[in-house]
Amino acid sequence: MSEEFKVEIVNPEKSFLVKDDVSEVVVPAFEGEMGILKDHISIISFLKPGIIKILSKSGDENYYVEDGIVEFKNNNLSILTSTIFNLADMDKSKQQDLLKQAEEEANKTDINDQSKYLADQKVDVLKTLN
Amino acid sequence: MASLDDLKKRIASVKSTQKITKAMKMVAAAKLRRAQESAEKGRPYSEKMNNVILNLSNGISDKENAPKLLSGTGQEKTHLCVVMTSDRGLCGGFNSNIIKKAKGYFAKILDEGKELKIITVGSKGNDQLKRVYGDKIIENISFKESKNANYFDADKVGKMVIEKFEAGEFDICTIFYNQFKNVITQIPQAQQIIPLNNEVEENSSEESYEFEPDEDEILSNLLPKNISTQIFKAMLENSASEQGSRMSAMDNATRNAGEMVDKLTIEYNRSRQAAITKELIEIISGAESL
């Protein structure tokens, strides 16, 4: 029996990525990283800034996301996100830009705890990339 | 009858107008293809979003304490209407159609003695509405600088709407936009986004989801995003509709200009002929009298 399932990443502008030979996906869920294998129970969760790892036969891929929702159902994983970058295409300057933005956001004083937490997360994740 | 010179000038002017409308039509056609493409590409996101929310609201156990964005404030006193139009004119009935639809809705609300607040997106809508409903317009947004509809603009509008909702400034929010059906047909739409109009679909399977964290928290995170998504969808549909509408309007204009040139040319030739005949008669009768 094959151990593969289908993953689809959609952003508001287009369908970002569709793959159907995926063996495992690790998503940065809000309450911690979550690995999803085939026949996982149906689940809905949302993402915090982090790295999505997609392991598949045709090669592994890593994506940086800032937010999003995951839905897993009948071996279909849908990830809805508004900000996503393929790490392979991301060069140093792009990374620095994002990091700068995130740091600015984290240093704002007039934001609530949750957005502060999310901004800090962004900074942390982006720093580990360097 | 107009003099020959006048006719010549008019023909030249109509011809140059025709050139402009023709060029605009071709530009609109090129932009339309792109806008249509992005409208189609944007659909999966909003559909998926809708699905997830539907699943969530079915799974929610405590209906009483559901987030206000979903269930409403329990009142229907103040209506907020987001009227989305274009920033540019010369696109046929595109803007007037939305305005007409919106005005009908406004009249209904005011008749019922409810309060009305308006946000206009796009300067054309603001121009048309401010004459009658100027005191009701609380905000006017325009994205003249952005070339294409993008999510960040939509998110800005969405965040503003939510801010106002949380401040208790309105109870019900409706957005007005043109849905793109095809190049000739765009349907003006009124869509209620707060509270979310739950199309009760009982056929959605009884499958239970696991939620992490719990439903309420996901919902309260998801609903604001959904607002932005819906607005973004409306923007995409709008921009496709705008280009489609402009294309057919300019096509008509080009054709009308062509007809006009034909008519004027015939008139020009006739008067030229008449002038020649008149001169001939004068010469002949002059020669005869000698």
Cis before B44 (ω within 30):
no
Task: Please state the ipTM of this predicted complex.
Answer: 0.76
| A80 contacts B209? CB cut-off 8 A | no
Is beta strand A61-65 parallel, antiparallel or unpaired with respect to A5-10? unpaired
Phi, psi at residue B203, to the nearest 5°?
-75, -10
pLDDT of residue B60: 66
For B131-143, how does the pLDDT look when each residue is reduced to its tens digit (9 = 90+)?
Answer: 888 888 888 888 8
Domain ranges for chain B, please list them: 22-202+209-249
Residues of A in contact with B38 (CB under 8 A): 13-14
Q: Binning pLDDT at 50, 70 and 90, where does residue A118 land?
A: confident
pTM of the predicted structure, to 2 decimals = 0.83
Q: Which of A8, A11, A13, A78 to mutate to test the interface with B (most CBs of B within 10 A)?
A: A13
Residues of B in contact with A69 (CB under 8 A): 49, 52, 218, 222, 225
Domain ranges for chain A, please list them: 5-86, 91-129
CATH of A5-86, one of 3.30.499.10, 3.40.50.2300, 2.60.15.10, 3.10.620.30: 2.60.15.10
Residue B103, exposed/middle/buried by CB under 10 A (0-12, 13-18, 19+)? Answer: middle
Closest Cβ–Cβ partner in A15, A42, A80 for B207: A42
Cα nearest neighbour of B228 on chain A: A12
Are A55 and A24 within 8 A, CB to CB? yes
pLDDT of residue B65: 65
Residues of A in contact with B211 (CB under 8 A): 43-45
pLDDT of residue B247: 93
- With a CB cutoff of 8 Å and minimum separation 6, the contacts of A67 are A46, A47, A48, A49, A81, A82, A83, A118, B225
Closest Cβ–Cβ partner in B44, B208, B218 for A10: B44
Closest Cβ–Cβ partner in A13, A67, A71 for B42: A13
- Cβ–Cβ contact B232 with A under 8 A: yes
| A69 contacts B225? CB cut-off 8 A | yes
Are B219 and B66 within 8 A, CB to CB? yes
Return contacts of B227-230, CB within 8 angstroms, 24+ apart: B227/B69, B227/B158, B227/B161, B227/B162, B227/B193, B227/B194, B228/B151, B228/B154, B228/B155, B228/B157, B228/B158, B228/B159, B229/A12, B229/B45, B229/B46, B229/B49, B229/B154, B229/B158, B230/B46, B230/B175, B230/B191, B230/B193
Catalytic residue selected from B32, B56, B91, B257: B91
Is beta strand A15-29 parallel, antiparallel or unpaired with respect to A32-36? antiparallel
- Cβ–Cβ contact B210 with A under 8 A: yes
Q: Does domain B22-202+209-249 have CATH number 3.40.1380.10?
A: yes
Query: Average pLDDT of each block of 10 consecutive residues along chain B (290 residues)?
Result: 86 95 94 89 84 75 68 82 90 90 92 90 89 88 80 87 88 90 88 73 59 77 85 90 92 95 95 94 92
- Cβ–Cβ contact B44 with A under 8 A: yes
Give the integer Cα–Cα distance in Å for B138 and A80: 32
Closest Cβ–Cβ partner in A11, A12, A44 for B55: A44
Give the integer Cα–Cα distance in Å for A84 and A63: 7
Give the integer Cα–Cα distance in Å for B23 and B25: 5
For A120-129, how does the pLDDT look when each residue is reduced to its tens digit (9 = 90+)?
Answer: 888 888 777 7
Residues of A in contact with B213 (CB under 8 A): 30-31, 45
B91 in catalytic set: yes
Alpha-carbon distance values, B129 to B46, B82, B179, B189 (Å):
29, 12, 20, 17
Q: What is the mean pLDDT of residues A73-97?
A: 84
- Cβ–Cβ contact B207 with A under 8 A: yes
Are B48 and A9 within 8 A, CB to CB? no
Closest Cβ–Cβ partner in B38, B44, B52 for A71: B52
pLDDT of residue B223: 84
Distance (Å) from the alpha carbon of A38 to chain B's nearest alpha carbon: 16
pLDDT of residue A21: 86
Residues of B in contact with A12 (CB under 8 A): 42, 45-46, 151, 154, 229, 232
For A31-84, how does the pLDDT look when each residue is reduced to its tens digit (9 = 90+)?
Answer: 888 899 988 888 888 888 888 999 988 888 889 888 888 888 888 898 988 888
- With a CB cutoff of 8 Å and minimum separation 6, the contacts of B92 are B245, B246, B248, B249, B252
